[in-house]
Amino acid sequence: MSDVSDWWQTAIIDMEPGRIHLRGHPIQNLIGNVSFPEMIWLMVRGDQPTPDQAKLFEAALVSAVDHGPQAPSIAAARMAVTCGLPLNNAMASAVNMLGDVHGGAGEQAIELFQHIETHPGNISGALDDWIALHGKIIPGFGHRFHRPTDPRAPRLMELVQEAVNAGACPGSYQKIAMAAEREISERKCRPIPMNIDGATAVIYAELGFAPPLARGLFCLSRSVGILAHAWEQIQEGGRNKGPTPPGYRWTYLEE
Amino acid sequence: MSDVSDWWQTAIIDMEPGRIHLRGHPIQNLIGNVSFPEMIWLMVRGDQPTPDQAKLFEAALVSAVDHGPQAPSIAAARMAVTCGLPLNNAMASAVNMLGDVHGGAGEQAIELFQHIETHPGNISGALDDWIALHGKIIPGFGHRFHRPTDPRAPRLMELVQEAVNAGACPGSYQKIAMAAEREISERKCRPIPMNIDGATAVIYAELGFAPPLARGLFCLSRSVGILAHAWEQIQEGGRNKGPTPPGYRWTYLEE
Amino acid sequence: MSDVSDWWQTAIIDMEPGRIHLRGHPIQNLIGNVSFPEMIWLMVRGDQPTPDQAKLFEAALVSAVDHGPQAPSIAAARMAVTCGLPLNNAMASAVNMLGDVHGGAGEQAIELFQHIETHPGNISGALDDWIALHGKIIPGFGHRFHRPTDPRAPRLMELVQEAVNAGACPGSYQKIAMAAEREISERKCRPIPMNIDGATAVIYAELGFAPPLARGLFCLSRSVGILAHAWEQIQEGGRNKGPTPPGYRWTYLEE
Amino acid sequence: MSDVSDWWQTAIIDMEPGRIHLRGHPIQNLIGNVSFPEMIWLMVRGDQPTPDQAKLFEAALVSAVDHGPQAPSIAAARMAVTCGLPLNNAMASAVNMLGDVHGGAGEQAIELFQHIETHPGNISGALDDWIALHGKIIPGFGHRFHRPTDPRAPRLMELVQEAVNAGACPGSYQKIAMAAEREISERKCRPIPMNIDGATAVIYAELGFAPPLARGLFCLSRSVGILAHAWEQIQEGGRNKGPTPPGYRWTYLEE
């Protein structure tokens, strides 16, 4: 079977009948002994966080679980169950929506911070370069709904400060993000504070996660709200509830 | 706007600019103060677990994160990234696979336990009725790969016993599941031990979750392994890696 | 490689480098020589329709392409592109919505017709049995929006009559559906005419398709409208357009 | 309701109870009178093809329906039904896989042709620029399985020639693609013929479709094979058939 020998290769799991090892640990030693966030960290990265790192990581996961049914992902979950889908398909429909625009801001914010990192002492030039390449929407700052301030961000940044004080992370991305916030606000002549994507990006970057994982971890976190809303809608009932109110007309042309 | 007034209705989230309340709690009071499993519980149910309940709940979430790429969900995640999909779409493709056969056994096992509950003292008759209705595959017992024993189940049942001892849950579903295990094994004249779906079903039923939530919570848990495998495959690279080894022929007809 | 010999087995396609046979036909002989509906028929069933059968089949495919953005599938497609998803992921998000409630009525209507077929001369008893088993929503009849008449159904039934006249199909399901329409309308004391799901179910049943294929073929047909709407929304732009109007509140609780 | 007045806007469909207009045509006038490919064209673009254009368009749709279960999309469809998913969810799982790598080559090939178009008389320079920007994989040429020739491409190009002769399309992208084929083959010192993605890209570009629609139309076409394979697998049965043969080990580490 030499031609299949390299088909799937994984360092995550090794098993045989009666034995499951995850990242080298017998699963029965993990169950009941590691927290769910520690398990997420172990599975995705292979190593284990310190208690202070795990605490900061957990705060980020907790913070992003929901933003209500005006978020397309939550709406998709609720619509899906009214179309008769069970929870797994409803959750998939919703997570699928977390694309570049709806679920990508955290990933893009880490990329922004890493870009700024390569322009030491020149935040303004770094931002100009970024805008030239990616357009004027700066990921991680400002919020079209939560004005002036997304209530999740300051709380998360408080916890980042505690983690830096405890030596759980270096604080370099914290500084970059705060400098970016100042620079962007000055340019706009009004506060453009960090939003949840910016704050979780600081946390994930401080803890050493690669940018795409900010999106992946957001998907895990938002899946909680998705499940909660899908389940609530199942209990409420309803059939084929669409995304526009009954009686609302959506055509361009009146005849 | 009276005709839209009942469009989406939720008791999960209430927000206005600058304010997000989840299940009545300001989100900034939850971040850093509740664990991720406690947040999942709160979002899905509206109430909060005791510490012992949260611990048992967390063990169930930890236990089901992965079963390797021979599970169609994990395979779908890895294939998806080799097709060029970002993490959110890869995760959705994978969670979508967790249908009745691949992700429904926990839900079905709770239904089985609740069915047995309505036949007090008559486990044999209850099982006969169940088999007549649903066929001979008993959800939650036996494993086609892990013979004789799925290593996750005994560890989880140990933690159930601890929780019962601590008064965190009544133990009624624990008893039902153990009686069912004995009955099924006697009928087959060999041990047919509880598997992970049976053991997590005991936990979710003991903690008062409705059957469909066993599937929903399994989706949350397995999403962790899905993310880990998708990310590993992104790092490995590969293009359009299909589900059969190169060179393998799958046609019925040789011409 | 004996242990993989039965892994995937298909009679649909056979290929080797430089050669692709679909259902036994070299693909280059099909391209430009069979119509797209004939190809769909060939792929799904293995045989080929007569020209009159192909014409009737094509009419069913044409009829169901769209029902506007108040259908959750179309809405999902449009939302998805505003979340940044490319067309394939947007189309998948939409097709996923075509569950039992949104995409299953045609399948259920064929099942209803086949159920009535087993009660010859006793349409009333057949309907009573059906309602006892499946509840009072009769698949294929009535429409919550198109009152009194879904304009697609009479046109399709006209084409069924032409096909019966031409000997392309036997007309037995046509008769059953028309008898059911009369019975249901009499019970309700008002016209409850066949809708598109009922009419396409007649066509697919007349042509010998199994019930689940009514859903599958509906997915193919509706994918056309899904693509058209997703593409229109891409051209319109918009970011994270949710399913509720901006400013609309969806919470139960005012605080 | 002024704040919802611009929520969804469409020129595709206009309806009220009892009336459905698609692109301005009453649907009952379309059913039975336009072919399925003509309906696809009308829905996506708003105009109607000539008979010769419709014929060429239909050939492209027919050509791409299937490439067997070693294609991840087809595999996903088959896996999905063994996980218990009904056809709509299985089809969605499969179409979701048609990302940049698996379903994007046609779109990329049109972009390549349009890029070459902006370098008149300088195919070599155009290719150099393309490779510098996008890497050395040239979309639409060569095939890792069909060596030397993908049997679908020459047949499609024959039909392009017929269409050009009939005045159905200008032939400018035909010329560009053939010049690219020569240039690429010369560089490699062996034939690197157009593949199906290249040939369908020629057709879609000749007929005036925007590049993303090559992907969207491929999704429609491949959905046919996806449906056929999903349905075949339902009939075959099987539970949780994964992507690796039973007994195959996929771990890096032997312990």
| Angstrom distances, CA of residue B78 to CA of A57, B92, C193 | 25, 12, 48
For chain D, the chains sharing at least 3 beta-carbon pairs closer than 8 angstroms are A, B, C
User: C with D: how many residue pairs have Cβ under 8 Å apart?
Assistant: 284
Closest residue in D to B89 (Cα–Cα): D96
Judged by CB atoms closer than 8 Å, whether chains meet at B80 and D96 is answered as yes
Judged by CB atoms closer than 8 Å, whether chains meet at A85 and C96 is answered as yes
Shortest CA distance to B188 belongs to which of B177, B180, B196?
Answer: B180
Judged by CB atoms closer than 8 Å, whether chains meet at C244 and B89 is answered as no
For D220-241, write each residue's pLDDT tens digit. 999 999 999 999 999 999 888 8
**Which distant-in-sequence residues (6+ apart) come within 8 Å of A189 by Cβ?**
none
Q: C19-58: buried (b, 16+ CB within 10 Å) or exposed (e) per residue?
A: ebbbbeeebbebbbebbbbbbbbbbbbeeebeebbbbbbb
Closest residue in C to B83 (Cα–Cα): C88
Q: Which residues of C touch D40 (CB under 8 A)?
A: 224, 227
Substitution target from C88, C91, C227 for chain D, most D beta carbons within 10 A: C88
Query: B22 has which bridge partners?
Result: B13, B25
The DSSP element (H or E) to which B19 belongs, if any, is: strand B19-22
What's the CA gap between A120 and A116, in Å, rounded? 7
Residue B120 forms contact with C (CB below 8 Å): no
Distance from CA of A80 to the nearest CA of C (A): 6
For B45-99, write each residue's pLDDT tens digit. 999 999 999 999 999 999 999 999 889 999 999 999 999 999 999 999 999 999 9
Judged by CB atoms closer than 8 Å, whether chains meet at C244 and B96 is answered as no
Substitution target from A95, A155, A162 for chain B, most B beta carbons within 10 A: A95
For D189, counting Cβ atoms within 10 Å of its Cβ (0-12 exposed, 13-18 middle, 19+ buried), the class is exposed
What's the CA gap between C209 and C43, in Å, rounded? 13
Domain chopping of chain C, boundaries: 10-48, 105-212
Distance from CA of B154 to the nearest CA of C (A): 32
3-class SS shares of chain A: helix, strand, coil, % to 5:
60, 5, 35
Which amino acid does the sequence have at B86? Answer: P
Q: Mean pLDDT throughout C48-74?
A: 96
Closest residue in D to A14 (Cα–Cα): D251
For chain B, the chains sharing at least 3 beta-carbon pairs closer than 8 angstroms are A, C, D
Residue C31 forms contact with B (CB below 8 Å): no
Q: Is pLDDT of C247 > 80? A: no
Residue C244 forms contact with B (CB below 8 Å): yes
Distance from CA of C128 to the nearest CA of A (A): 23
**Which distant-in-sequence residues (6+ apart) come within 8 Å of D242 by Cβ?**
B69, B70, B71, B72, B75, B243, D79
Judged by CB atoms closer than 8 Å, whether chains meet at D243 and B243 is answered as yes
ipTM of the predicted structure? 0.95
Residue D1 forms contact with A (CB below 8 Å): yes
Tokens of A161: 């400060």
Q: Where does the pLDDT of residue C248 fall: very low under 50, low under 70, confident under 90, or very high at 90 and above?
A: low
CA angle C74, C75, C81 (to 5 degrees): 95
Substitution target from C197, C229, C240 for chain A, most A beta carbons within 10 A: C240
Q: Which of D4, D70, D79 has its CB closest to that of B75?
A: D79
Judged by CB atoms closer than 8 Å, whether chains meet at B14 and C89 is answered as no
Residues C11 and D43 sit within 8 Å (Cβ to Cβ)? no
For chain A, the chains sharing at least 3 beta-carbon pairs closer than 8 angstroms are B, C, D
Output the DSSP codes for D117-163. Answer: HTSTT-HHHHHHHHHHHH-S--TTB--SSS-S--THHHHHHHHHHHH
Q: Where does the pLDDT of residue A9 fall: very low under 50, low under 70, confident under 90, or very high at 90 and above?
A: confident
Shortest CA distance to C23 belongs to which of D236, D79, B255?
Answer: B255
Judged by CB atoms closer than 8 Å, whether chains meet at A220 and B224 is answered as yes
Q: Where does the pLDDT of residue C255 fall: very low under 50, low under 70, confident under 90, or very high at 90 and above?
A: very low
* Percent of chain C whose predicted confidence (pLDDT) is above 70: 92
Distance from CA of A149 to the nearest CA of D (A): 24
For C207-236, write each residue's pLDDT tens digit. 999 999 999 999 999 999 999 999 999 999
Q: Where does the pLDDT of residue C246 fall: very low under 50, low under 70, confident under 90, or very high at 90 and above?
A: low
Ranges of chain D whose pLDDT falls below 70: 1-6, 243-249, 251-255
Distance from CA of C233 to the nearest CA of B (A): 20
More confident residue, B2 or B214: B214
Judged by CB atoms closer than 8 Å, whether chains meet at B155 and A11 is answered as no
**Which distant-in-sequence residues (6+ apart) come within 8 Å of D5 by Cβ?**
none
pLDDT of A4 reads 45
Which amino acid does the sequence have at B195? Answer: N
Closest residue in A to D89 (Cα–Cα): A89
Which amino acid does the sequence have at A235? Answer: Q
pLDDT of B248 reads 65
Counting DSSP H helices and E strands in chain C, the numbers are: 12, 3
Average pLDDT, chain C: 93
pLDDT of D244 reads 64
What's the CA gap between B223 and B59, in Å, rounded? 16
Cis peptide before C193 (omega within 30 of 0): no
User: Which CATH entry fits the domain spanning C105-212: 3.30.450.70, 1.10.230.10, 3.30.1600.10, 1.10.8.60?
Assistant: 1.10.230.10
Q: Is pLDDT of B129 > 70? A: yes
Q: Which of C36, C212, C248 has its CB closest to that of D61?
A: C36
Q: Mean pLDDT throughout B162-176?
A: 98
For C155-193, write each residue's pLDDT tens digit. 999 999 999 999 999 999 999 999 999 999 999 999 999
Judged by CB atoms closer than 8 Å, whether chains meet at D96 and B99 is answered as no
For chain C, the chains sharing at least 3 beta-carbon pairs closer than 8 angstroms are A, B, D
Q: Which of A114-118, A157-161, C109-113, D236-240 has the lowest mean pLDDT?
A: D236-240
pLDDT of D206 reads 98
Strand order in the sheet with D19-22: D13-16, D19-22, D25-26
Residue D189 forms contact with A (CB below 8 Å): no
What's the CA gap between C106 and D27, in Å, rounded? 19
Q: Is pLDDT of A2 > 90? A: no
pLDDT of A248 reads 66
Q: Which of A87, A96, A98 has its CB closest to that of B212?
A: A87
DSSP-derived secondary structure letter, A163: H
| Range list of H helices, D46-86 | 51-63, 72-82
Judged by CB atoms closer than 8 Å, whether chains meet at C31 and D59 is answered as yes
Average pLDDT, chain A: 93
Residues B203 and B49 sit within 8 Å (Cβ to Cβ)? no
Q: Is pLDDT of A99 > 50? A: yes
Q: Which residues of C touch A68 (CB under 8 A)?
A: 250
Q: Which residues of D touch B85 (CB under 8 A)?
A: 96-97, 99
